[in-house]
Structure 1
Amino acid sequence: MASTSSFDVVSDFDHQEMVNTVDQTLREIKSRYDLKNTNSTLELGEATITVNTDSEMTLETIHDILRQKAAKRNLSQKIFEYGKIESASGGRVRQEITLKRGISQENAKKISKLVRDNFKKVQASIQGDAVRISSKSKDDLQEVIQALKQEEFPVALQFTNYR
């Protein structure tokens, strides 16, 4: 058994699930009595969500609804990076929420160092915004996945291309 097995550690989310999350959040905003007349809007871009509402209190309520809907769709809370609250025209407030994708070089180095230090028969190589983990033993790869799941990283990790 000389062949090697591998998998990729990535940080990504399903864009269609995010579209559904924003859509459900908008529906709840329109139907909730305390948010009905706030004229709140959510605009989903490629990598951002822009929230426009009438006060910071309703903005926090929208955050709670968005987080709740994302959790129901198995989206990690770590993908949301809340920007600065800005004042908009008409006494309203606007906030841009950045949707994080990819593993930064700093986090990729932490992952590969953790793998190198704890697993001698496993190799980790940084490939752009992903980390490829390879080994001859699939059992070792399973142990690496369990170890990475127990660590706290500032990004949501997924394990793909398991071969």
Structure 2
Amino acid sequence: MNVIRKVGLFIDSIFEKFTLLALLALIFVVTTQVTTRKLFNFVFFWSEEITLLLLAWFAFMAIAIGFREYIHLGIDSFTNLFPKSFNKVLDKIISASIFAFGLYLVIQGWGFTVLMMESTLPATKLPSSVTYAVMPITGIMICVYSLLQFFNINTTRHKEIEEGM
């Protein structure tokens, strides 16, 4: 069981690092794009396409990390009105719903990825499927996180930052 945990944490770390790398690359490309446009009246032909691609990848992967860290939308002020036993059942329903969303991303994302394999992006000539490949990857991660949470396994990797509360 310890080996499975280590492999899972390794995959999760790669996923998180790739997400952060996508964000850093996005910042770098946009900064370069703005700087070259304002200072030299020149824009790299690929910069807007890469920006949109990185934004899509970062956004989808950040969704999965948000589910992992339990920072998805919740209405605690409402659910705190109910007894703990009800909230435990509600948590299972939420985990199952999140799993269904992840499964939807896997199925639909794979369909889009396969559908777009023949076309290419105009500036970079990358296959258009690279834009959609993030959907099934994110869906798999969401399914894994929701299954772990369904069985009361804590998936958070980062501690909350308390601000003098």
TM-score exceeds 0.5 = no
More helix by share: 2
More strand by share: 1
Pick 1 or 2: higher relative contact order, CA cutoff 8 A, min separation 6. 1
